[in-house]
Amino acid sequence: MTDLKIVGAALPGMPWEERPADCKQVMWRYSKNPVIPRDILPTSNSVFNSAVVPFKDGYAGVFRCDDTSRRMRLHVGFSKDGINWDIKEDKLEFQCDDEEIGNFVYVYDPRVCFIDDRYYVTWCNGYYGPTIGVAYTFDFETFHQLENAFLPSNRNGVLFPRKINGNFAMVSRPSDNGHTPFGDIFYSESPDMAFWGKHRHVMSPAPFEESAWQCMKIGAGPIPIETSEGWLMIYHGVLRSCNGYVYSFGSALLDLDQPWKVLYRSRPYLIAPQTEYECMGDVPNVAFPCAALHDPETRRIAVYYGCADTVTGLAFGYIDEIIRFTKENSL
């Protein structure tokens, strides 16, 4: 795939570690995982399912920090290397002109996406059930909250990093109020980040006989990466076992102009919970990706993922290898 084009700003200093000599997998874990411990803040019970982006001469992040009252909160953090984080002790507070929308209930599973001139944050926002909250920031100090994108119940709202067909674009996962036992990924567009429509079905869970790790529900993870082979979308899938839910992640390639058209979709997972920190914690057996850094030149990708709803880990891979894997092992 020598002519593969990957869109994005150069990031030669991004977190990285080569594939271990004995590893035959397409993605591998950082040897010093977890990168963020559960008690990085005096008030944090757990720090997981969090979003990281390049910012100034380093990185900024919006972190899901459930506190020691087990309330779901977001906190801003900064890092020079993407690995050692300074997470602010004060929780992130959104500014909102509309009292109804700005009324804080709960916030979790943030994603951050740079579009045009600003960073947009999407998250699962409590408003008569879970829905997709939207805000923007220029500086990771002041965050302006906009309208919720959708009616409840919805989770895993993930923006595309540029307009498509002249509109902002987002995938999301309509759900129910609880620990939803179903879920398909849908695509929507908006001219103004307030009104969302043109809803299209993207993909459903896979038949369990074919790909059991994604047979119950699925949801987009990091911001999709634009390549000449399509949008590379890393997403989580859930298996319902006799002993509870198991969260793994895999990859799909979506059509560039019509992202609701799935070109390829991985039958095997990229990462499934197998290490101690993924299998043991507040919710065992969870690998839940919410962000990725990538460098187009070296084709490197680093995925940040929540581990067992407790800590945050990093997994590495080469984008061209993940694309080849997705095409050669497609459902």
- Pick one of 109, 147, 226, 229: the residue that binds ligand BMA (CB under 6 A): 109
Residue pair 126/105 in contact (Cβ under 8 Å)? The answer is: yes
Q: Does 288 bind ligand BMA (CB under 6 A)?
A: yes
- Pick one of 108, 140, 264, 325: the residue that binds ligand BMA (CB under 6 A): 108
Q: Does 66 bind ligand BMA (CB under 6 A)?
A: no
Tell me the number of residues near ligand BMA by CB under 6 A: 10
- Pick one of 136, 247, 269, 304: the residue that binds ligand BMA (CB under 6 A): 247
Q: Does 286 bind ligand BMA (CB under 6 A)?
A: yes
Q: Which single residue is written with the structure tokens 């990085």?
A: 40
Nearer to ligand BMA, 240 or 261 (CB): 240
Q: How far apart are the first and last CA of the chain?
A: 21
- Pick one of 309, 310, 311, 325: the residue that binds ligand BMA (CB under 6 A): 309
**What's the gap between Cα 109 and its chain centre?**
8
Backbone φ, ψ for residue 266 (5° rounding)? -70, 130
Q: Does 122 bind ligand BMA (CB under 6 A)?
A: no
- Pick one of 118, 179, 199, 200: the residue that binds ligand BMA (CB under 6 A): 179
User: Which strand (E) or helix (H) includes residue 100?
Assistant: helix 99-102
Residues β-bridged to residue 190? 168
Residue pair 302/322 in contact (Cβ under 8 Å)? The answer is: no
State both tokens at 329: 């092992």
Minimum CB separation of residue 309 from ligand BMA in Å reads: 5
> C-alpha angle with apex 256: 250 to 261, nearest 5 degrees?
65
d(CA 37, CA 29): 16
Nearer to ligand BMA, 28 or 288 (CB): 288
Cα distances from 279 to residues 153, 272, 291, 309, in angstroms, run 28, 10, 20, 10
- Pick one of 33, 44, 46, 49: the residue that binds ligand BMA (CB under 6 A): 49
Residues 6+ apart with CB under 8 A from 180: 153, 155, 217
- Pick one of 152, 183, 259, 306: the residue that binds ligand BMA (CB under 6 A): 306
Minimum CB separation of residue 198 from ligand BMA in Å reads: 26
Minimum CB separation of residue 61 from ligand BMA in Å reads: 16
Q: Does 283 bind ligand BMA (CB under 6 A)?
A: yes
- Which residues of the shown chain bind ligand BMA in the complex (CB under 6 A)? 49, 108-109, 179, 247, 283, 286, 288, 306, 309
